[in-house]
Chains A and B, each alone.
Chain A
Amino acid sequence: MTPLIEARKLTIQDQHGRKLVDNLSFSLASNSALTILGESGAGKSILAQALLGILPSGICQTGEIKLFGKPLTKISQSQLEAIWAREICFLPQEPSKSLNPIMPMRRQISEVFEFVHLQKYRKATQSADESLTQLNLDGHGAKVPSRLSGGMSQRVAYAAATAAGGKVLIADEPTKGLDRRHAAATIKRLAKYRDHGGLITITHNLQLAEELGGTIIIMRDGQIIEQGDASAVLTEPKNSYTQQLISAAKKKWNRPEKLQQPKPIITLENVSLSRGSKQLFHDFNLTISEGEIIGMVGESGKGKSSLADLSLKLLKPKSGSINYHFDYFPAERPKVLKLSQDPATTFPAHHPLQILLTDLQKKHRFDQDHVEVIMNELGLSAKLLGSKPHQLSGGELQRFSLLFILLLRPRYIVADEPTSRLDMITAEVVNKALLSYLEKHRAALLYISHDRRLVNEISHRVIDLDQTN
């Protein structure tokens, strides 16, 4: 039987000659799944575009792609358009950007029924409403994307992408930004394509790859690291990178011991805060003691980051008070610091990192030796200091953020989803360095995450904002 989608010796280069995909070969048979697993970065999404014949101009491709046995180069534009959606559906990354911001959800689905299945307007609307109901989106049809959550947008995008009825699905990071519950539902939907058509998933989520099974390709910097049957690769990885990846994903954390009779260092008393007309906190109380690790979970919009910013005094509460009870410590030294979710936005954008390091060193005076020790621990090379933030990867930047924090020896750190944009190996390095610092210096940590398992493992207690109100 002809494979549905086939790639042979596929190499994709960008304008600067950088190889985004290097010598990739695979074939997707009917009723099977193929998962491409790798770090977040340019390479994987460009692969999906190559398979759909929509590479941006300037990107150069060698090797061969065959769709249903026919080379892509021999498929005309109109034939290609007949394949899109009708044969191969595509679920894009970041659905909130892929939906028209000013068109109601229902219309974005119904138009597919109208134009592809040639249904009458009324019938198409009905069909769209049925899809919305199936996805638990009853009553959201009239809304525009900005009024929906990420999980909801993802489901609408799924409905629109698959409405035309193609049997093969290419999904680009389908679980990115979804919490555990929504991710599980998404995996279930993808599995349908594995069983009755064909499925290619591009992801950095190891668990997703494990649950989908089929063939797995592990990629790093465009290179193929390992390829084979999912269960074989994941249980007996041959390559050391794959081994690291799997051990990072399965890592069990030991939380540092709680201190005996710790002194409180930060107290929030009867704090209230609203965002717009919505009340986030009312008479909220919290005491943070030295050496304490507090986990914080809750859905988006519940005010996790706001609470963290309150504790850092970056936000002023509407009422109530926030008090610091630090011992007298080297004056001027910052006692509270924050590790943010998106490291790309936490550095002055126009200067090399060395400038910031020098500025900090001038102001707060720490040893150069100390810098080298921590950089070593974090696996950072000194030559990266000459780069500007946009020239570094998210993983490198996040480790630099942590470097600066550890150099200043704060008493209290807020980590706001510090690893959500990192690959699992870097995430492990960051978490490990953070925890060992806390233990050594009796500092406190407020750790915000979507990952309830991780939070439960590392923290002494957990604030669950879904439960509080």
Chain B
Amino acid sequence: MITTISKRLFQAVFVVWAVGTLSFIMMRLLPGNMAFKIAAGRYGYDQVNQQAADMVTSELALDRSAISMYFDWLGSLAQLDFGNSLVSGRPVLHEIQHQLGHSFELALVATIISVLIAVPIGTYCGRRANSLADHTSLFVSAILRAQPVFVIGLILILVFSIHFKLLPVAGFGGSEFIILPATALALSMAALSSRMIKNITNNAVTSSYYQFARLKGLSENQAFERHAKPNITLLFLPFLGVQAICLIEGIVMIESLFSWPGIGHALAHAIFSRDIPMIQASAMVMGLLFVAINSFIDLAVYLIDPRINHSASNHDR
């Protein structure tokens, strides 16, 4: 367990370093005067003039080598100093906080919908492999998986907003605004997870331990409750990491499509407008979130799997 934790910590440190470094390279490659850019980062574009730029130059000693400036850059990152947005001029951290809340809301609703779709379909088809239902679910899943998540969103907009005019095209506000983006995200996640659950379920109910449970006197339902459900849960846990990738990537695309004011939209928008402090902060937050999700999965597996020795002392109890 300790190695797992240190591995995750190591990943977190890497995320900060890698995103910071890439942002620094981006900054260096931006056309224009470095001092102006940093001044803009601090005070916003409106407040920048030669005087501010000179101040930045003398304060940060911008005439130094790129290497020492690089370490300064990483240093301020370590102190969680993300600077100001080049576009709005407001502190990046402040903006991110708001966006993160909106993204969480979207992610939560999408995850709930995808669980509601994938779990019943997956377990149903797993218990009846090769039935009509199973083939239908495979077909639908293959169709959904053959498109990017934003196309699913696009089609939902075309059908429900433009054609039937039932729901708003995009934006943020009342609860009707979250339905389409969350559904699009959920569909793309469920397309994958429903098949995964189906496979795991099918493996469990055709296993020799499941058959043995029946032959030692348990009814179909008792056997499923006791010898399939726990095993399916445990085997599905590691797959949540793949779902997390699906979710985070989906958030970037879906938020951009629906103009949902979350962190994914912020990242795409910042890249488009070359707002480097924003790029840096939003990418870093998403990377850290991903590492955090994976750490939770590790922890859950550790706590739930009885095959893992929790301490060496009770080894031969």
A-B contact count (CB 8 A): 77
Question: Is there contact, CB below 8 Å, between B217 and A84?
Answer: yes
Binary interface profile of B, 233-245, with partner A (CB < 8 Å = 1, else 0)?
0100000000000
Residues of A within 8 A of B208 (CB): 92, 94, 97-98
Bound form: Cα–Cα A115–B226 in Å: 11
Question: Is there contact, CB below 8 Å, between A104 and B306?
Answer: yes
Question: Is there contact, CB below 8 Å, between B216 and A85?
Answer: yes
Interface residues of A in 362-416 (CB under 8 A from B): none
Question: Is there contact, CB below 8 Å, between A54 and B211?
Answer: yes
Question: Is there contact, CB below 8 Å, between A99 and B209?
Answer: yes
Residues of A within 8 A of B216 (CB): 84-85, 89-90, 112, 160-161, 163-164
Residues of A within 8 A of B231 (CB): 100-102
Closest Cβ–Cβ distance, residue A311 to chain B (whole Å): 31
Given A100-B231, A102-B306, A144-B307, check contact A157 B212 (CB 8 Å): yes
Residues of B within 8 A of A97 (CB): 207-209
Question: Is there contact, CB below 8 Å, between A115 and B219?
Answer: yes
Residues of B within 8 A of A144 (CB): 306-307
Interface residues of A in 68-104 (CB under 8 A from B): 81, 84-86, 89-90, 92, 94, 97-104
Residues of B within 8 A of A101 (CB): 209, 231, 307
Among B207, B218, B227, contact of A103 (Cβ-Cβ < 8 Å): B227
Question: Is there contact, CB below 8 Å, between A112 and B227?
Answer: no
Question: Is there contact, CB below 8 Å, between B217 and A116?
Answer: yes
Q: Does A292 count as interface, using CB distance less than 8 angstroms?
A: no
Q: Does A21 count as interface, using CB distance less than 8 angstroms?
A: no
Among A81, A98, A103, A142, contact of B317 (Cβ-Cβ < 8 Å): A142
Question: Is there contact, CB below 8 Å, between B218 and A111?
Answer: yes
Closest Cβ–Cβ distance, residue A138 to chain B (whole Å): 12
Q: Does A146 count as interface, using CB distance less than 8 angstroms?
A: yes
Residues of A within 8 A of B226 (CB): 103, 111
Bound form: Cα–Cα A186–B219 in Å: 28
Q: Does B67 count as interface, using CB distance less than 8 angstroms?
A: no
Q: Does A139 count as interface, using CB distance less than 8 angstroms?
A: yes
Residues of A within 8 A of B131 (CB): none
Q: Does B246 count as interface, using CB distance less than 8 angstroms?
A: no
Residues of A within 8 A of B207 (CB): 97
Residues of B within 8 A of A54 (CB): 211, 215
Given A102-B306, A142-B317, check contact A115 B217 (CB 8 Å): yes
By the criterion of a CB under 8 Å from any partner CB, how many residues of chain A are at the interface?
Answer: 32
Q: Does A200 count as interface, using CB distance less than 8 angstroms?
A: no
Residues of B within 8 A of A98 (CB): 208-209, 211-212
Q: Does B213 count as interface, using CB distance less than 8 angstroms?
A: yes
Of chain A, the residue at the smallest CB distance from B218 is A115
Question: Is there contact, CB below 8 Å, between B215 and A115?
Answer: no
Of chain A, the residue at the smallest CB distance from B314 is A142
Residues of B within 8 A of A446 (CB): none
Bound form: Cα–Cα A92–B207 in Å: 13
Closest Cβ–Cβ distance, residue A153 to chain B (whole Å): 11
Residue from B215, B218, B234 whose CB has the most chain A CB atoms within 10 Å: B215
Of chain B, the residue at the smallest CB distance from A85 is B217
Closest Cβ–Cβ distance, residue B138 to chain A (whole Å): 19
By the criterion of a CB under 8 Å from any partner CB, how many residues of chain B are at the interface?
Answer: 22
Residue from B219, B226, B234 whose CB has the most chain A CB atoms within 10 Å: B226
Question: Is there contact, CB below 8 Å, between B209 and A161?
Answer: no
Q: Does A52 count as interface, using CB distance less than 8 angstroms?
A: yes
Bound form: Cα–Cα A160–B212 in Å: 9
Q: Does B4 count as interface, using CB distance less than 8 angstroms?
A: no
Q: Does B145 count as interface, using CB distance less than 8 angstroms?
A: no
Residues of B within 8 A of A146 (CB): 307
Among B215, B218, B234, B317, contact of A102 (Cβ-Cβ < 8 Å): B234
Bound form: Cα–Cα A97–B212 in Å: 9
Of chain B, the residue at the smallest CB distance from A117 is B217
Of chain B, the residue at the smallest CB distance from A277 is B312
Bound form: Cα–Cα A115–B218 in Å: 7
Question: Is there contact, CB below 8 Å, between B217 and A103?
Answer: no
Residues of B within 8 A of A139 (CB): 317
Question: Is there contact, CB below 8 Å, between B212 and A86?
Answer: no
Question: Is there contact, CB below 8 Å, between B212 and A99?
Answer: yes
Question: Is there contact, CB below 8 Å, between A81 and B227?
Answer: no
Residues of B within 8 A of A111 (CB): 218, 222, 226
Bound form: Cα–Cα A89–B215 in Å: 7
Q: Does B75 count as interface, using CB distance less than 8 angstroms?
A: no
Q: Does B305 count as interface, using CB distance less than 8 angstroms?
A: yes
Interface residues of B in 266-317 (CB under 8 A from A): 305-307, 317
Question: Is there contact, CB below 8 Å, between B306 and A112?
Answer: no
Q: Does B214 count as interface, using CB distance less than 8 angstroms?
A: yes
Closest Cβ–Cβ distance, residue A49 to chain B (whole Å): 9
Residues of A within 8 A of B305 (CB): 102
Of chain A, the residue at the smallest CB distance from B227 is A100
Given A54-B211, A100-B231, A111-B226, check contact A164 B307 (CB 8 Å): no
Q: Does B101 count as interface, using CB distance less than 8 angstroms?
A: no
Of chain B, the residue at the smallest CB distance from A146 is B307
Bound form: Cα–Cα A292–B206 in Å: 49
Residues of A within 8 A of B218 (CB): 111-112, 115-116
Bound form: Cα–Cα A102–B215 in Å: 19
Residues of B within 8 A of A164 (CB): 216-217
Given A100-B231, A101-B307, check contact A112 B217 (CB 8 Å): yes
Closest Cβ–Cβ distance, residue A406 to chain B (whole Å): 38
Q: Does B148 count as interface, using CB distance less than 8 angstroms?
A: no
Among A94, A103, A112, contact of B230 (Cβ-Cβ < 8 Å): A103
Bound form: Cα–Cα A169–B227 in Å: 23
Bound form: Cα–Cα A320–B216 in Å: 52
Residues of B within 8 A of A92 (CB): 208, 212, 215
Bound form: Cα–Cα A116–B227 in Å: 16
Binary interface profile of B, 121-133, with partner A (CB < 8 Å = 1, else 0)?
0000000000000
Of chain B, the residue at the smallest CB distance from A97 is B208
- 14 more CB-based (< 8 A) A-B contacts, given A112-B217, A139-B317: A54-B215, A86-B217, A90-B212, A92-B208, A97-B208, A99-B209, A101-B209, A102-B234, A103-B230, A111-B222, A112-B218, A144-B307, A146-B307, A161-B216
For this complex, 9 residue pairs linking A to B, each with C-beta atoms less than 8 Å apart, are A89-B216, A97-B207, A98-B211, A100-B213, A115-B222, A144-B306, A144-B307, A146-B307, A161-B212
Closest 6 A-B residue pairs measured CB to CB?
A: A85-B217, A164-B217, A98-B212, A116-B217, A100-B209, A90-B215
A residues with CB within 8 A of B: 52, 54, 81, 84-86, 89-90, 92, 94, 97-104, 111-112, 115-116, 139, 142, 144, 146-147, 157, 160-161, 163-164
